[in-house]
Amino acid sequence: MKTGGFSRPYKGLSICGDSFVVEEREGETLAAVIDGLGHGYESSVAAERAVEVIREFADLGVGPLMMKVHQELRTTRGAAVGLMKIDHSGAGQFCGIGNIEVQSLNGQAPSVFCLAGIVGHNMRTSKVMSLAMKPGDIYCLMSDGISSRGNLKACLPGPPEMVARRIVEHWGKDHDDATALVIGFGDAALLDDAAPAGR
């Protein structure tokens, strides 16, 4: 599994209310994108707390982990959170609340989506959805600071961190924090000399 992410704050601010997490545990990769409600300091407090909880309880399944984050964010302004866990075979699960999106940069798009709500406040329910990555598949988890109209595939090829940075720089909205987390499955995914997807 190849992973890499990039975040940048609302234009003109130095504090980012977005964040991302990647944790490798016993053959599984946990990837998460967090978007603290709004932007600025209070938003960053919520995102940082979510990161701490996700890392501490990374061994949990994505459903129980989401509930744990929800409990721990009650004293913050809350956040949108997307959690994805994938094993060495490419089988995985996703659980998301709020405006986190998953797009395919290469391969078939996963049939996963986030439910409405704010983690830490009005999260009424959560839903765990299955997914299966095949060798060469590349996913991007992103906050709503990335334009959904952007041609994200044009940011390939390259190492995951570089692809994530290109996505944020090319398609990030100036009036919001922006985060992209890129995940490639298999040896052929995200190599420097890989052919750009969609061409």
Name the helix (H) or strand (E) containing 71.
helix 62-72
What's the predicted TM-score (pTM) here?
0.92
Q: What angle do CA 125, 127, 128 make, to 5 degrees?
A: 150
Gap between the Cα atoms of 155 and 158, Å rounded: 8
With contact defined as beta carbons under 8 Å apart, do 186 and 15 qualify? no
Gap between the Cα atoms of 81 and 72, Å rounded: 13
CA-closest candidate to residue 125, choices 66, 81, 73, 72: 66
Residue 147, token pair as written in the block: 């334009």
Q: Which domains does the chain have, with CATH numbers?
A: 2-184 (3.60.40.10)
Sheet with 129-132: list strands edge to edge: 18-25, 28-36, 79-87, 91-97, 129-132
With contact defined as beta carbons under 8 Å apart, do 19 and 48 qualify? yes
Q: Which residue reads 């990374």 in tokens?
A: 58
Q: Residue 21's beta-bridge partner residues?
A: 32
pLDDT tens for each residue of the chain, 199 residues long: 999 999 999 998 999 999 999 999 888 999 999 999 998 999 999 999 999 999 999 999 999 999 999 999 999 999 999 999 999 999 999 999 999 999 999 998 899 999 999 999 998 889 999 999 999 999 999 999 999 888 999 999 999 999 999 999 999 999 999 999 999 998 767 655 444 443 3
DSSP letter assigned to residue 109: P
Q: Helix, strand or coil for residue 193? A: coil
Largest CA distance in the chain: 47
Sheet with 178-184: list strands edge to edge: 2-8, 178-184, 138-142, 101-106
Angle between helices 41-56 and 62-72 (to 10 degrees): 140
